[in-house]
A and B are shown apart, each in its own frame.
Chain A
Amino acid sequence: MFTLLRIEIYKIFSKPRTYLAFAAITALILIVQLGLKVDGNEYAAFVLADLSNTLQIDGKIINGYFVCYVVLQLLLVHVPLLIALIAADMISGEANMGTLRLLVTKPVSRSGLLIAKFLASAVYTIILLIWIAVLALFVSMYIFGTDDMFLLKNNYAVQIEKADIFWRYAGAFFFATLAMLTVAALGFFLSQFADNSIGPIVATMSIIIVFTILSTMSIPIFNIIKPYLFTTHMVAWKEFFDVKLNADNETIAGSLQRGDKIIKSAAILVLHIVLFVGASIWVFKKKDVLS
């Protein structure tokens, strides 16, 4: 299994397409950072315009932690595409190249091959998320410095102390990895059914876009199905930045407003990953490899 995994990772990182994803992410993050470095204060003034008469804020609003949050909000819509580019290509891409039949005639079990392929796409996903973390968090901390984090939610504002932020990002990135692994598992599953990678990539993105729209629309009929959509749970990383308040309306360091929601969403995402990968193995073991 370890040999298979190493081979699959080697193949992923031998493809030029893989590095395009890293280049795209790098460009996007640098553009956001550049924009906020140049016009960050104007952006903050615009965002806080409604609160300027009622709230006095000291310190740097535009700091590394805040910039990272902005970047994450922007990117977590686009990153699934970069994940799907690789995960949805794992089987269909091999079928398209004609190498799938060569792989299947080798003395390795089909389930072992599938697990190695999924784990390889998971390794890619994790490395991509680590790269995003390095650029969005550490580079932002270096460029913008650090301070308390001030976030505007739907109908309230949250201030998190500087010393209480880093572990939240660690948790948020860990959760984001889980969410992106769900996307990878979906793309991987759809990859079984096509002989070229375009179809599964488009199908993966279509499902995510439709589900995300349904998850975010506040229409009663859609509220019934929202808890069953995995996209509803993919955004639970934001819960790491919602804190409890004490009797004096002060934030409690190290607290989470809805820790149970994070655990529940994580469990649902893990369940989806297991289901998608399990179904992939089930389908692939029975599949006649014709292409």
Chain B
Amino acid sequence: MPIVSIRNLTKEFNNIIAVKDLSFTVNKGDVYGFLGQNGAGKSTTIRMLLTLIQPTSGDIEVFGLQLSRHRKEILKNIGAVIEKPDTYKYLSAYENLKLFAKLSGIKPSHQKLMDQLEMIGLAERANDKVKTFSQGMKQRLGIGIALVHNPQLIVLDEPTNGLDPQGIADIRNLILYLSRELHKTLIVSSHLLNEIEQIATRVLIIDRGRKIIEENANTLFDPAQTIVQIKTANDKQTMALLQDTIWSSYLCKENSTEVVLRMNKKNIPQFIHFLATRDIEIESVQPRNNLEDYFLQVTAGKQHVHTFKN
């Protein structure tokens, strides 16, 4: 069942297209990994979903309702952390939680608020002003605020920004708990690809406001689709050799001087054997099937700085 259904969404800022004709669906129970380089349009899309900004065109449906017509009903069931988890620094964690619970239309008991603070590990600091908190504690409070009204959909925009490794692990565990134990639907945008890889059930990659791919994580990391990069003493000669063999159908870039193939992981030894029997000197073999490699592959040629060659 689709929780979020976005169709042909476009947003322009003073003739600059931030999001172009974007469509995707988030199903109930998904941990939906939302990936893209800086400026790809992730935050703009999330802001449109949360009614912070108006789409130039397109359609957003949440819980089967039109967002533009049923804003209040929909937002009652969404909890969000948008980039930095900013709260009122002159109030305590408890006061912030209570204030945002009221704004979400609920009046939780003292015990419920304390339970919520316990869940995010801030019960002992409940009455301390937020201005005394570390970045990790603020992040956890932001997530606590997003969860205080027990929403069905949780949107986390860069939830691990500025956190130390322990803080990142805490957030990852919390997301997994929300998904597996509480059966929440989550949209998580991040530039930390390995984090998304560990938690996402579906992945959307966007670039320059356009959808590159939307795929189940299982499919994306399928061993049958492993990318293999081979470095040989003479890559040009190797490419020429491969052109007339069965292996040419596995080549990712036919006219390239780099030897990159997409194949089943179990066929890699057979391929190495083939090269060896043709007297090709192999320097390295790099199988890739993690999200970072996939991400770099699909956004190839759009890097911000040139990579150095050794």
Partner-B contacts on A (CB < 8 A): 3-4, 7, 10-11, 14-16, 97-99, 101-109, 286, 288-290
Bound-state CA distance A3–B105 (Å) is 9
Residue of B76, B83, B100 ringed by the most chain A CB atoms within 10 A:
B100
A-B contact pairs, 30 of them (CB 8 A): A3-B103, A7-B99, A7-B103, A11-B99, A14-B90, A16-B90, A97-B86, A97-B88, A97-B89, A98-B86, A99-B86, A99-B88, A101-B47, A102-B100, A102-B145, A103-B103, A104-B51, A105-B75, A106-B100, A106-B104, A107-B71, A107-B72, A107-B74, A107-B104, A108-B72, A288-B47, A288-B52, A288-B53, A289-B52, A290-B53
Residues in A with CB closer than 8 Å to B65 are none
Bound-state CA distance A144–B50 (Å) is 60
Q: Mark B74-98, 1 if CB is under 8 A from A, else 0.
A: 1110101011101111110001000
Shortest Cβ distance from residue B41 to the other chain A in the assembled complex, whole angstroms: 14
B222 at the A/B interface (Cβ < 8 Å)?
no
Closest 4 pairs (CB-CB, A-B): A98-B86, A288-B53, A107-B75, A106-B103
Interface of A is mostly: helix
Query: Are the C-beta atoms of A286 and B54 separated by less than 8 Å?
Result: yes
For residue B53, which residue of chain A has the nearest CB? A288
For residue A105, which residue of chain B has the nearest CB? B50
For residue B76, which residue of chain A has the nearest CB? A107
B73 at the A/B interface (Cβ < 8 Å)?
yes
Query: Are the C-beta atoms of B88 and A11 separated by less than 8 Å?
Result: yes
- Partner pick for B78 among A4, A10, A97, A105, CB 8 A cutoff: A105
For residue B52, which residue of chain A has the nearest CB? A289
Query: Are the C-beta atoms of A105 and B52 separated by less than 8 Å?
Result: yes
Residues in B with CB closer than 8 Å to A16 are 90
B102 at the A/B interface (Cβ < 8 Å)?
yes
Residues in B with CB closer than 8 Å to A14 are 88, 90-91, 95
Residue of A10, A101, A289 ringed by the most chain B CB atoms within 10 A:
A101
Bound-state CA distance A7–B95 (Å) is 11
Bound-state CA distance A286–B71 (Å) is 15
Shortest Cβ distance from residue A283 to the other chain B in the assembled complex, whole angstroms: 13
Residues in A with CB closer than 8 Å to B76 are 107
- Partner pick for B90 among A3, A15, A98, A108, CB 8 A cutoff: A15
Query: Are the C-beta atoms of B80 and A105 separated by less than 8 Å?
Result: yes
Query: Are the C-beta atoms of B82 and A101 separated by less than 8 Å?
Result: yes
Shortest Cβ distance from residue A98 to the other chain B in the assembled complex, whole angstroms: 3
Residues in A with CB closer than 8 Å to B104 are 106-107
Residues in B with CB closer than 8 Å to A98 are 83-84, 86
Residues in A with CB closer than 8 Å to B53 are 288-290
Query: Are the C-beta atoms of B105 and A107 separated by less than 8 Å?
Result: yes
Given contacts A99-B86, A102-B145, A105-B78, contact A10 B99 (CB under 8 A): yes
For residue B104, which residue of chain A has the nearest CB? A106
Residues in A with CB closer than 8 Å to B87 are 99, 102
- Other than the known A108-B103, A286-B54, A289-B52, what 9 A-B pairs have Cβ atoms closer than 8 Å? A11-B88, A99-B86, A101-B47, A104-B51, A105-B51, A105-B52, A105-B75, A107-B71, A107-B73
